[in-house]
Chain A
Amino acid sequence: MLQETFINQKSLIQYLTPWTKTLAAIISSTVIALSNNLSVLLPALGIALLLVSVAGLDFRQIGRRLLILSGFLLMIWLILPFTYEGEIVWRISFLNVSHEGLLAATRLTLKTCSMLLIFLALISTMSTADLAYALHNLKIPAKLVLLLLITYRYIFLIEDELRTLQRAAKVRNFKPDTTLHCYRTYAYLLGMLFVRAAERAQRVHQAMLCRGFSGRFHSLREYHNRSLDYGFLALVSIIALLMTLCEWKIITLPTPF
């Protein structure tokens, strides 16, 4: 289910602490999400591509993930240019393509692609546990951090339970098809899975109470930042600042459109 494909890549990115990587991802994605200027978003995509190549990730794996994203982007390209009001640049019989619509779709595409690439380079190269502890060190509320940790821990067990249920159905000659019987079976299966997950959650909570859990979360992992970490964060912050200044038109770069 969860494979954590990119964890063991050997690259410069691996020398950064999870804390640095998480903070850098938060800063850069916030700036990108709030920017609308193409002269900011295009360089952002360039930087994201650069990060991915520095991280040394397998481009085929990246392509597979971008492919999943392209389904959503396709929907945007099919809808936005035809529905946005504005200066009409193109007519196809009764459909009008607006300049603003094209621009909006381009912006969204650039934003999503560059944010996905940045997260692949920075976040997917650490284990989920490291991410959780990094978030804890960044003062994210303990409840959310525990939620992430425990979801990660039990998702495998829930997957196992689903497999068991599926096997139980299979040994009694259940074949998936499009009959009402099949849908009903799947509904029961899913219902059973929810019941089991809820019961599991209750037992885990009881076990936590038995060990004196009172809602506080203590982390044993400490991350010691080195000059490389501070250097990287400084670089990310400077780029983010430049992008913000650009976005506010305090500095101007030539716009392609």
Chain B
Amino acid sequence: MHQSHSAILSLQKISFHYPNGPAVINNLDFTLNKGDRIGLTAPNGSGKSTLFHLIVGLLKSSSGRILYEDREIIQEEDFRQLRRRVGLLFQDADDQLFFPTVLEDVAFGPLNLGKSKEEALTISHQVLQRLELSDFADRITFKLSGGEKKLVALATVLAMEPDILLLDEPTAGLDHKTKLRLIELLNNFTDLSYLIVSHEFDFLTATTNHIYTMENGTILVDEELHIHHHEHAHRSGKQPHRHI
């Protein structure tokens, strides 16, 4: 992967290991161009979440460079700026929602960015409307269902008006209906580039245009198409149906 003119985020020879542990991320190179929608699938413990945390500076890499729009990100202050542009959706939505009501939670990000109360409220209402969550504004966050929490968490990230989204297993624990809704939403985000980590191949094919894998702490790119057949069986299989 060579850096092209439209590259927004690029990681160069990034390595990371936990204290006294083996390398989780090993000489990893990765470039995200504007408009890229990339899926990342790999077994548990292969360092996908670690990679996300390295990008937004929650963990510090032991070597390598992170560039955002050709500027190197080094200091905590650089990462603070970066986090406005790169939104991370956590695996567990409960970690992300810490305010009593949905509206207050969504407005937390914009307020931290120095927006006035009115601006923050306008942005929050817009985002909620975009996700068809307007009715949720005054709902109590901890009384939402799992799927609703996930969508509200997505709203809190979008309220920061990021350029890039990092989604860490967004479908974990979601029912079929919410998954479909998430797919529809992601496909409507034409102005966003995103990187999704997921075990669900069907979800990734529906939302991304490249799917990469991770092995030995690096990202493997396999751009070739492989025609393959597989048979499968399940109950009610005779009924016309699709798999997503």
Which residue numbers of A lie inside 8 Å of B, CB to CB? 127-129, 149-150, 152-154, 156-157, 200, 203-204, 206-214, 216, 218, 220-221
Contact status A127-B100, CB under 8 Å: yes
Q: Which of A129, A200, A211 has the most CB of B within 10 A?
A: A211
Q: Which of the segments B39-47, B90-98, B223-231 contacts the partner chain?
A: B90-98
The total number of A-B Cβ pairs within 8 Å is 75
Which chain B residues have a beta carbon within 8 Å of chain A's beta carbons?
53, 56, 58, 80, 83-84, 87-88, 90, 92, 94-101, 103-104, 107-109, 111-113, 117, 120-121, 141-142, 156-157, 160
CB pair A220–B142 under 8 Å, yes or no, is no
- Can you spell out 28 A-B residue pairs with CB atoms less than 8 angstroms apart? A127-B100, A149-B99, A153-B97, A153-B98, A154-B98, A157-B94, A203-B90, A206-B90, A207-B95, A207-B96, A207-B98, A208-B98, A210-B58, A210-B87, A211-B83, A211-B108, A211-B156, A211-B160, A212-B80, A212-B84, A212-B113, A216-B112, A218-B111, A218-B112, A218-B117, A220-B104, A220-B111, A220-B117
Main secondary structure of the interface of A (DSSP, over half): helix
User: Top 3 nearest A-B pairs by Cβ distance?
Assistant: A129-B100, A212-B112, A218-B111
Is there an interface contact between B95 and A204, defined as CB atoms closer than 8 Å?
A: yes
Q: Are B99 and A153 in contact (CB under 8 A)?
A: yes
Cβ of B115 to closest chain A Cβ, rounded Å: 9
Q: Give A216 to B115 CA distance when docked, in angstroms.
A: 13
Contact flag A209-B120 (CB < 8 Å), given A127-B100, A153-B98, A216-B112: no
Roughly how many angstroms separate A153 CA and B92 CA in the complex, as a whole number?
15
Taking a contact as CB atoms under 8 Å apart, the answer to whether A210 and B88 are in contact is: yes
CA distance A206 to B79 in the complex (A): 13
